[in-house]
A = this chain, B = another copy of it.
């Protein structure tokens, strides 16, 4: 008995609670008429209040009016409160430049959710069946989809939509309508994704039934159910991770922590990024896998880097954070560069430190050993001004012991300095090149040798409260 199968679905998936107010989306076709009939039969058992709503979309002229009349008669007979909305969908579609199919769906769902809100409806029951589900799974597969699509339609959605007939074959619905003399209207306008879906229904599924599995529809529906469980699990994990990784969110921007984001599983990482995108764009339209990949690659890029994504979305790297926003953003770079007083003090506010420099003799130099904070250079080898500054793109150092020059950036990466700190590390350079990367060796070209006469000794004296940051690097 069909009603028991539906009840099994209702109980298993928790579709209905005792005392629920349920609104049935009633087209007058076999599916929705069968659904209404069954809910009416279950009305007493679950203490339901049942409503039905029909949209006269005026697409099929006199036929559409007959549909509406038929629906109102069925509801009257069953004691169901009936809502009818009439809208010139073809005209509206033309006006808005949308397809008739999209327009009809939009008007219909707006109507349903309006009624839901006004009457405090608990659930909106729609009449998708097992055949629809199998078609959906195939359609999503053929278009290329992950779990999101292959899970098919949900039995129950957060917005209150329920699908009690999702385990029922179309064939059994037609049978039920016949046995119960329901005389549904033949719905000639099956909008949703009409062309592909109809092809799948009329050609592909019969072809698969004949050549591969006679129960292919059930197999696909079961596949959707298994995948939905996995999908829900992963989505929940991703949502929890998103909350942990999100360091800021307002109407304009969502900020994720790069280090945390890097440390999670690939499958979750992609989802967290998608949630961040949705927080700005509201949905994922036009966002493709390649864009998610671009964002993942962006995490390894320098501070201030940005990528443009569809629909005006911008993602910036900003001191260890990813910023998702629609607005132009200037990433403050805290650029600094100071000419060093070779016999005296040079203050670097950005780093909260002072450079102490002295020009001394080679002999004198021996009394002051070099440390991680103090280095000595051949004075005669320095060309032009000696400068302390932050890293610029392409900076290289020919450090003692290296064969050839090495990129400063690579050295910092090798030393596992987080991206947001890399940019700030002090570099000492003259007009020709780099003398010293703080925390690393000095350059071959400036070292003291047998010909050295005068020596420049440079020492960093940092403010106490910066010790933690500086020491991390040494």
Q: Which A residues are within 8 Å of any B CB, using their own CB? A: 141-147, 150, 196, 199, 203-204, 207-208, 211-213, 216, 219-220, 222-223, 226-227, 229-230, 232-234, 236-237, 265-268, 270, 289
Contacts and interface: CB of A to CB of B under 8 A. Distances in A.
B213 A142 contact: yes
Nearest to A228: B267
14 contacts: A141-B220, A142-B212, A146-B227, A146-B230, A147-B147, A199-B211, A199-B212, A204-B208, A204-B211, A204-B212, A229-B270, A230-B267, A233-B234, A237-B237
B223 A144 contact: yes
B211 A203 contact: yes
A224 to B, nearest CB: 10
Contacts of A145: 223
A216 to B, nearest CB: 7
Contacts of A265: 232-233, 236
A362 to B, nearest CB: 47
Contact of A222 (B144, B212, B237): B144
Contacts of A236: 265
Contact of A232 (B142, B144, B219, B267): B267
Given A150-B150, A207-B207, A212-B196, A233 B267 contact: yes
Pairs of residues from A and B, 6 with the lowest C-beta to C-beta distance, nearest first: A233-B267, A144-B219, A146-B226, A229-B267, A142-B212, A233-B265
A196 B213 CA distance: 11
Given A147-B147, A229-B267, 20 more contacts: A141-B141, A141-B219, A142-B208, A142-B212, A142-B216, A144-B213, A144-B222, A144-B223, A145-B223, A146-B223, A146-B226, A146-B230, A147-B226, A150-B223, A199-B212, A226-B289, A230-B230, A230-B234, A233-B234, A234-B234
Given A207-B207, A230-B267, A234-B233, A213 B146 contact: no
A473 to B, nearest CB: 30
Contacts of A222: 144, 289
Looking at A212, A232, A270, the one whose CB has the most chain B CB atoms below 10 A away is A212
A291 to B, nearest CB: 14
Contact of A229 (B143, B208, B266): B266
A210 to B, nearest CB: 11
Contacts of A266: 229, 233
Q: What is the interface of chain A mostly: helix, strand, loop, or mixed?
A: helix
Contacts of A229: 266-267, 270
A211 B195 CA distance: 12
Nearest to A149: B223
Nearest to A215: B144
A10 B176 CA distance: 56
A46 to B, nearest CB: 23
Contacts of A199: 211-212
Contact of A219 (B142, B196, B208): B142
A265 B228 CA distance: 12
A150 B137 CA distance: 13
A204 B144 CA distance: 17
Contacts of A232: 265, 267
A99 B146 CA distance: 35
A258 to B, nearest CB: 20
A217 to B, nearest CB: 11
Contacts of A150: 150, 223, 227
Contacts of A141: 141, 219-220, 223
Contacts of A143: 213, 219
A256 to B, nearest CB: 19
A413 to B, nearest CB: 18
A167 to B, nearest CB: 15
Contacts of A268: 233
A55 B335 CA distance: 66
Contacts of A289: 222, 226
Nearest to A218: B144
A132 to B, nearest CB: 18
Contacts of A142: 208, 212-213, 216, 219
A265 B223 CA distance: 18
A141 B196 CA distance: 19
